[in-house]
Amino acid sequence: MHWRNYFIPTTKETPKDATAASHVLMLRAGLVRQLAAGVYTYLPLGFRCLRKVERIVREEMDRAGAIELRMPCLTPLSLWDESGRSRTMTDVLLRLDGSVWDWAAGLVLGPTHEEIITELARAYLKSYKQLPINLYQIQLKFRGEARPKSGVLRTREFLMKDAYSFHDNKPSLDKEYDNMYAAYCRIFARSGLPYLAVEADTGAMGGDASHEFMVLTDAGEDRVALSESGDYAANLERATTAPPKPAPAGEGEAPAEPLRSPTEVHTPNAGRIDEVCPVLGLPPRQMIKTLIYAGTAGQADAGAKGPPPRKLRVVALVRGDHEINELKLNRAAGLTLELADPETIEALTGAKVGFAGPQGLIDRIDKLIIDREVAVLRNAASGANKTDYHVTGVNPGRDFPLAGDKVVMADIRTVAEGDPSPTGSGSPLHLRTAIEIGHVFKLGTKYSTALGAVYLDQNGKACPLIMGCYGIGLNRILAAAIEAHHDDAGIIWPMSIAPFEVLVLALDPRDEEVMRVATQIHDELAAAGIDVLFDDRDERAGFKFKDADLIGIPLRIVVGKKSLTAGGVEVTDRRTPADKQLKPVAAAIAHVTQHVRAELAKLAAAK
RNA sequence: CGGGGUGUAGCUCAGUCUGGCUUAGAGCGCUUGGUUCGGGACCAAGAGGUCGCAGGUUCGAAUCCUGUCACCCCGACCA
């Protein structure tokens, strides 16, 4: 490809709207152009990268035995009604409003395709003999993102590979899950990403295992907890820590502090932990944070028609130095909870917000959910259920129940930096920011049940299909690769997803000999199947070098009068710009050809 | 959806507070000619803007007022 005839609109200036490194570089290198919030054109260079990623994904999915198909972007709203997600995903579903054509009101742009594939399965997958099967597509998705950000990392329109597997038994799903997990490792390794698989939350759909594939970068929007020894990695939404040691009961090494009696302390206007601790002279870890939640009974997704909803009051307890994790709380409660409003709290506790405590509440609430680290506290402090008063000498089990119908003991807090790994190693956890690039998920029968997708087993019995789903964000692979591989001058592409593998740079394009040699190198490399870009523009050297660094093509061959006089051409690796190797033309061609193939093979062999 | 911010040339921005010295500017980029030519050159001459949009105030509005739209950042949200 001759640059002169190509289209690479690079810029020297940094666009003001871009903050993430990948965003800045994608704009500057002429990979993408923003058309609207969260909507991007992929310019030729960016499109080439995207196609390379797409090819890797397709090859590895095919190799893993998945079968490609293509579902529509326009999907009937009725299917989302069937699954119940037209109600639960209202913010995400882009609905056509039907103001021009009434039929359009019945359509939504697909944000994901569980419903669509399940409809397909319902129609065709009738027998256990057809199972298992894994169907996938690479297709545009549309989501009503409230706030697109960080360039291509979070958009309203994006390219996704989504695969769905169908099974007639759990072990079969487990096997395919592992198969997909391995395929994802190959895909990300081949793409040159420093990825990480972490345990993920299974969300509102419950279900079994789920892993997310992450790339660590401050531009990401997920938090992950990683143990120092590497034996544990989980999304912060789900991460847990080693359980607390049981309360010292007087035996053992340190004699237990004697249990004190509850004592009210006047703590005017000190409703927050950081306000009340100095007054009580206690550290936050001796405090019990009492949070009042409201939930609705009988609610369920998937359009279940349960008994009429009833408001439930749920009290959650965590230690004063801990943050509650509402996902964990919801799971422990078996409900979707929301923090109660001040009126509800005051009515329940008889005190203003900030002075709630667990004592004496059990008969007036529907559920008490106690973090396991609260249960082992001794002589703790909490609100007194009396405005401007706290209580010290609060003891779990004595002053509020640790067991009973309404009591749930669970891990409901967010892990913190330095907490011990739950694996037993005790290795400290570190919290990091990351971007999610892939997700594998055991769905179970949620959608097959909701949509009535059943097969007949060997006994002729109708059973819901057991499903798994597996997604990869292709645009995010590009952005994550740039986040992981760049320097001050520009992008440093991994060979496998670089728009071109080799850049031939003719420094004196008006010199016949330079052009003859450079053209020859370009042509021979192209003939050898190398993706080669030839910078034949009549520009000054510095200008072209800056562009070359910016667009980040891994290998560069510089042809100039100077190099020819010195006996050849210069070969450099984008990663090590200082290391220039002067080689005769034929040797340079052989060298980069071999280097490209070796690099691709290395990436393909990585895990 | 809450809070904050920004809309002036393809890009980065000045001018807005204090309305009139601007016939709307600068740098980058673009066009033409010339000089340069191994790390984003220089000289000269050009092209390019209904100052986001709609009302209003005023003799006069990029500038003041009202409304509206778009975009960005923080938060909420994100199976």
Q: How far is the CA of A68 from the C1' of B18 (A)?
A: 67
Q: Which residue is the nearest neighbor of B1, CA to C1'?
A: A146
**Residue A249, pLDDT above cutoff 70:** no
Q: What value does the mean pLDDT take over residues A480-504?
A: 96
What band does A254 get if pLDDT is binned at 50, 70 and 90?
A: low
What does the pLDDT read at residue A300?
A: 46
Nucleotide closest to A560 measured between CA and C1': B38
Nucleotide closest to A505 measured between CA and C1': B38
Of A142, A148, A191, the C-alpha closest to A20 is A148
- Asked if A484 and A217 touch (Cβ cutoff 8 Å), the reply is yes
Share of chain A above pLDDT 90, in %: 77
What does the pLDDT read at residue A316?
A: 93
Nucleotide closest to A470 measured between CA and C1': B79
What band does A203 get if pLDDT is binned at 50, 70 and 90?
A: low
Q: What value does the mean pLDDT take over residues A280-309?
A: 72
* Identity of the residue numbered A267: T
Query: Residue A137 to residues A57, A62, A73, A251, A275: CA-CA distances in angstroms?
Result: 10, 11, 11, 62, 55
Share of chain A above pLDDT 70, in %: 95
**Residue A142, pLDDT above cutoff 70:** yes
Of A382, A500, A453, the C-alpha closest to A117 is A453
Tell me the CATH architecture of domain A11-73+110-193+439-482.
2-Layer Sandwich (3.30)
Nucleotide closest to A201 measured between CA and C1': B79
What does the pLDDT read at residue A343?
A: 84
* CA A259 – CA A452 distance, rounded (Å): 58
**Residue A251, pLDDT above cutoff 90:** no
Select the more confidently predicted residue: A209 or A121: A121
Q: Which residue is the nearest neighbor of B72, CA to C1'?
A: A17
Q: Which residue is the nearest neighbor of B77, CA to C1'?
A: A146
**Residue A301, pLDDT above cutoff 50:** no
Q: How far is the CA of A91 from the C1' of B4 (A)?
A: 24
Lookup result for tokens 């021009």: A100
Q: How far is the CA of A103 from the C1' of B66 (A)?
A: 39
What does the pLDDT read at residue A255?
A: 58
Give domain limits for chain A. 11-73+110-193+439-482, 263-414, 500-605
Q: How far is the CA of A540 from the C1' of B25 (A)?
A: 30
- Is A500-605 a domain of CATH 2.60.120.10? no
Nucleotide closest to A147 measured between CA and C1': B77
Token code pair at residue A238: 């789900």
**Residue A250, pLDDT above cutoff 70:** no
**Residue A299, pLDDT above cutoff 70:** no
Nucleotide closest to A200 measured between CA and C1': B79
What does the pLDDT read at residue A303?
A: 44
What band does A16 get if pLDDT is binned at 50, 70 and 90?
A: confident
Q: How far is the CA of A317 from the C1' of B1 (A)?
A: 29
Q: How far is the CA of A16 from the C1' of B12 (A)?
A: 8
- Asked if A526 and A567 touch (Cβ cutoff 8 Å), the reply is no
Q: What value does the mean pLDDT take over residues A22-46?
A: 93
What does the pLDDT read at residue A248?
A: 54
Task: Render pLDDT for A367-418 as a digit per residue (tens, 0 to 9).
Answer: 999 999 999 999 999 999 999 999 999 999 999 999 999 999 999 999 999 9
Q: How far is the CA of A48 from the C1' of B56 (A)?
A: 52
What band does A337 get if pLDDT is binned at 50, 70 and 90?
A: confident
Mean pLDDT of chain A: 91
* CA A559 – CA A44 distance, rounded (Å): 25
- Asked if A447 and A272 touch (Cβ cutoff 8 Å), the reply is no
Q: How far is the CA of A546 from the C1' of B37 (A)?
A: 15
Task: Render pLDDT for A538-573 as a digit per residue (tens, 0 to 9).
Answer: 999 999 999 999 999 999 999 999 999 999 999 999
Superfamily designation of domain A263-414: YbaK/aminoacyl-tRNA synthetase-associated domain (3.90.960.10)
Nucleotide closest to A17 measured between CA and C1': B72
The Cβ of residue A99 has, within 10 Å, a number of other Cβ atoms equal to: 8
The full 3-state SS of A393-462, as one line of letters, equals EECECCCECCCCCCEEEECCEECCCCCECCCCCCCEEEEEEEEEEEEEEEEECHHHHHHCCEEECCCCCE
Q: How far is the CA of A255 from the C1' of B60 (A)?
A: 88
The SS3 call for residue A339 is strand
**Residue A47, pLDDT above cutoff 60:** yes
Q: How far is the CA of A24 from the C1' of B12 (A)?
A: 14
Nucleotide closest to A89 measured between CA and C1': B79
Predicted interface score ipTM higher than 0.95: no
Of A267, A279, A276, A207, the C-alpha closest to A238 is A207
The full 3-state SS of A201-215, as one line of letters, equals CCHHHCCCCEEEEEE
Those nucleotides of strand B lying less than 7 Å from any protein Cβ are 1-2, 11-13, 27-29, 36-41, 70-79
CB proximity list for A461: less than 8 A, separation 6 or greater: none
